[in-house]
Amino acid sequence: MAQTIRTLFCAVIFLLCLPGCGEVGSTEDPIDPYDALSLVDPLIGTGGVGGEVIGLNPGAAVPFGMTQTGPDTTHSTQGALPFYHFGGYHYDDDEILGFSHEHANGMGVNDFGTMMVLPRAAWDDSFVDSDERAAPFEHAQEHASPGSYQVRLADDGTEVEIAATRHGALHRYQFPDGGRPVVLLDLGHRLGTVEIGESSVAFDAQTGRVDAFQVLEGAYSGRFGGLKTWAHLGLDPAPTQVGVWSDAQSPMEGTPELAGLRVGMWLEFPPGTTSGELRVALSHVDAEGARSNYAQELDGVDFEEVRQRAQAAWAEQLGRVRVRGGTHEERVVFHTALYHSALWPNVFSDVDGRYRGLDDGVRHAEFLYHSNFSMWDTFRTTHPWFTLVQPEKSLEFAQSLTQMAKDGGDMPRWPLGHGYTGGMVGSPASQILAGTWLKGVRGWDAEAAFVSCFLQATELTDHVSRTAIELYRELGYVPLEASSGSTSLGLEYAWNDAALALWGTSLGYDEEAEVLGESASWWRNNWDPEQGFMLGRRADGSFREMADPDTWASEFVEGNAWHYRWPAPFDVAGMIDLQYGGDLEDFSADYELYWSRVAEEEDDVFPDTYYWHGNEPDLHHAWLGSLAGLPEATLQAVRLLMSTRYDTSPSGLDGNDDAGTLSSWYLFAASGLYPVAGTTQYAVSLPLFDRVELDRPDGMLVVEREEGASALALPRSPLLGDEELGSWVVEHDELIEGGRLRFVAPQ
The DSSP line for 138-149 is -GGGEEEETTEE
For residues 369-380, give the mean pLDDT: 98
Percent of the chain at pLDDT exceeding 90? 93
pTM score of the predicted model: 0.96
Tens of pLDDT, residue by residue over 442-469, are: 999 999 999 999 999 999 999 999 999 9
Of the candidates 167, 117, 162, 183, the residue with the CA atom closest to the CA atom of residue 298: 167
> In this model, does residue 403 exceed pLDDT 90?
yes
Cis peptide before 58 (omega within 30 of 0): no
Identify the pLDDT of residue 112: 98
Confidence band for 125, pLDDT divided at 50, 70 and 90: very high
Q: Are 658 and 377 in contact (CB under 8 A)?
A: yes
| Strand (E) or helix (H) holding 730 | strand 729-731
Confidence band for 9, pLDDT divided at 50, 70 and 90: very low
DSSP string over 204-264: ETTTTEEEEEEEEE-TTGGGGT-EEEEEEEEEESPPSEEEEEETTEEEEET--EEEESSEE
Of the candidates 138, 87, 83, the residue with the CA atom closest to the CA atom of residue 112: 87
Helix axes 391-408, 429-438, angle to 10 degrees: 130
Please enumerate, as own/partner, the contacts of 75-84 that have beta carbons within 8 Å and a separation of 24 or more.
76/134, 76/136, 80/191, 80/192, 81/192, 82/110, 82/191, 82/192, 82/193, 83/53, 83/192, 84/49, 84/53
Of the candidates 164, 195, 45, 115, the residue with the CA atom closest to the CA atom of residue 659: 45
Q: Are 31 and 23 in contact (CB under 8 A)?
A: yes
Confidence band for 711, pLDDT divided at 50, 70 and 90: low
Identify the pLDDT of residue 27: 67
Residues written for the chain: 747
| Domain map (residue ranges) of the chain | 65-315
Does domain 65-315 fall under CATH 2.70.98.10? My reply is: yes
**Between residues 706 and 191, the one the model is more confident about:** 191
Rounded-to-integer distance, Cα 606 and Cα 185, Å = 38
Rounded-to-integer distance, Cα 471 and Cα 40, Å = 48
Tens of pLDDT, residue by residue over 648-662, are: 999 999 999 999 999
Mean of the per-residue pLDDT values of the chain: 95
Residues 6+ apart with CB under 8 A from 474: none
Q: Are 433 and 383 in contact (CB under 8 A)?
A: no
Rounded-to-integer distance, Cα 233 and Cα 208, Å = 9
What are residue 560's phi and psi, to 5 degrees?
-125, -170
Identify the pLDDT of residue 745: 80
The total of other beta-carbon atoms located within 10 Å of residue 44's CB is 28
Tens of pLDDT, residue by residue over 554-576, are: 999 999 999 999 999 999 999 99
Identify the pLDDT of residue 515: 98
Rounded-to-integer distance, Cα 592 and Cα 589, Å = 5
Of the candidates 450, 557, 448, the residue with the CA atom closest to the CA atom of residue 497: 450
Cis peptide before 237 (omega within 30 of 0): yes
- Strand ranges (E), 523-662: 527-528, 533-534
| Strand (E) or helix (H) holding 646 | none
> In this model, does residue 372 exceed pLDDT 90?
yes
> In this model, does residue 188 exceed pLDDT 90?
yes
- Span of 2-16, 295-309, 590-604, 713-727 with lowest mean pLDDT: 2-16
Rounded-to-integer distance, Cα 550 and Cα 257, Å = 57
Of the candidates 145, 170, 144, 141, the residue with the CA atom closest to the CA atom of residue 158: 141
Rounded-to-integer distance, Cα 571 and Cα 548, Å = 27
Identify the pLDDT of residue 25: 52
List b or e across 731-744, with b for residues whose CB sees 16 or more CB atoms inside 10 angstroms: bbebbbebebbbbb
- Span of 93-97, 384-388, 516-520, 715-719 with lowest mean pLDDT: 715-719
